[in-house]
Amino acid sequence: MKIIQKPWGREVHLFKWNQWRLKLLQINEGNRTSLQYHKEKEEFWFFNDGTWRHLPPNEVHRLTGPITVLEIAKGEDTDIVRLEDDYQRTNSQV
């Protein structure tokens, strides 16, 4: 397990196998992730209420806290394109 602090909260990396990764995204109250998309990465988000969301490549998305999401992803974070960011990371790559 690996914990990565983010300006909006943290990512808890639970498992990695080939191109697949499992992690928890914990967004703190009053914070949000970048408005972003991935060129190749595909994500599946699972929420506490039992719902889920599929994010294919190129789908614009953002999470607003407080929330914890279980993410299953195929691909790497290096293909991120930030459209808006509360932490001055717009248009930067990870």
Q: The pTM is what?
A: 0.90
Count of CB atoms situated within 10 Å of the CB of 9: 21
Q: Which amino acid is at 85?
A: D
Q: Which helix (H) or strand (E) holds 53?
A: strand 52-55
Using the 8-state DSSP alphabet, how is residue 19 labeled? Answer: T
Model confidence pLDDT, tens digit, residues 30-46: 999 999 999 999 999 99
Dist. CA 41–CA 20, nearest whole Å = 10
Paired with 84 in beta bridges are 35
- Per-residue pLDDT at 76 exceeds 70: yes
Encoding tokens for residue 61? 């998305």
What's the pLDDT band for 21 if we cut at 50, 70, 90? very high
Q: Is 2-84 CATH 2.60.120.10?
A: yes
